[in-house]
Amino acid sequence: MLVKNKYLLGLLASVWFSACQSQPATKPQPASKTRMSASAVQTDRFRLSASPGCADGYPARIAEGRFITSDGGSFPVPYGHFLESAWGGSAVGWAVGDEMQPAPDSLEIRWFSYTENKFYEGHFLLPQARIHALLKQGYWQDDQHKQGTYNSLALSVVPTGVVVVWLVGRQNQVLIGRYQARHIDYDYQQFQPGADKAVAMQEARAAMSPAARRESAAGTISSAKWDNYLKTYPWQVAFSRPLTITDLGLNYLNAETVADPPTPDMAAFAQVALAPSRKPVPTSMQLYVAGPYGRQRRLDLDFPDEQETMAAFQHLHAQHPKEPLTLYVEVDEHLSKAVLSLRAGGQVVPLPKSKVGSWPVK
């Protein structure tokens, strides 16, 4: 099944930052070299909302947050929810009604990391021109025979103050950027008035993953795992026999997903998507293939062991840094069975924990 992102809707609230106690204002990160003109951001408006998440098993709670637009407006990052998962966004969302927004140019956010017992805060300039271009282009919805566009910005807070932002549509999710917040001193009672912090920390510990508990106790928490998710490698997909891809869905470790093409020409888009280019490590692929005698089959390629897949990409890229890697799909004549491996420079790295499913498409 192709990935679809759905968001629960709640009450819309406006949120503005209050001054952090005894803390100077956070300096914004360097701006993107490409900035939208004032006329463009005033003219082009989109229906946008936000959805927060956190690194799976590393619970957090957003204190305040908003995406800011260059016309002086903003829309909120839902806050106050206990987050314990959802790398790439969550089901937490607030309704925006019919309000339209220009592409945002910055993000302000403050949150509490239960795993680290720390507050973080950041003000980040976003690549507004790129967000605007993605919103304007959108994607083709083949089942509805019309162009659609992205409608949400998802973010996940990660240990050591990292914030990752994506633009989210119906079946597509595009990485916007990784940002680094700073640790701040902030009053927990101001954050959660009347709350017993010791009880809250104990309850949060129950939601932590075993790895998070070990790292918290040892003081070894880092963002390395998720930074590795964000890395890209030059790679392509190749098959042991000529195949025609008629539709696809791609899912990656960095939480990006692709299923709807930018234009109605899916065959051309599939050819580009599977050709050599820098891409994140895959987690799964759904490929619709023109099979024998005019029949279609669907191939599901799954990579459930992320360590095996990442190790293969890291090893082969280190051995052959100047050539693209090939995810090789050795498929039988009837497209009913397949074996996966990663290849480069004559080396073959098997992926024994990968799984392949094959079904006829009616």
Cα(338)–Cα(303) distance, integer angstroms: 13
Cα(224)–Cα(216) distance, integer angstroms: 15
pLDDT, block means (10 residues), the chain with 362 residues: 33 29 36 46 83 96 96 94 90 77 97 97 98 97 95 97 97 97 96 94 96 96 98 98 94 97 94 96 96 83 98 98 97 92 98 95 84
Cα(279)–Cα(283) distance, integer angstroms: 12
Cα(215)–Cα(361) distance, integer angstroms: 46
* Paired residues of 277 in beta bridges: 235
Cα(86)–Cα(84) distance, integer angstroms: 7
Instruction: State the virtual CA torsion across 352, 347, 331, 327 in degrees, nearest 10.
Output: 80
Residue 61 in 3-state DSSP? strand
Of the candidates 132, 127, 212, the residue with the CA atom closest to the CA atom of residue 165: 127
Q: Retrieve residue 295's tokens.
A: 């029949």
pTM for the full model?
0.87
Cα(318)–Cα(324) distance, integer angstroms: 11
What is the model's pLDDT at position 93? 78
String of DSSP letters for 254-277? TS-EE-S-SSS-HHHHHHHHTSSE
- The residue behind tokens 């696809």 is 248
- The residue behind tokens 């098997």 is 350
What is the model's pLDDT at position 183? 98
Q: Delimit the domains of the chain by residue range.
A: 38-221, 231-361
Cα(292)–Cα(230) distance, integer angstroms: 38
Q: Which amino acid would we find at residue 142?
A: D
Cα(213)–Cα(241) distance, integer angstroms: 48
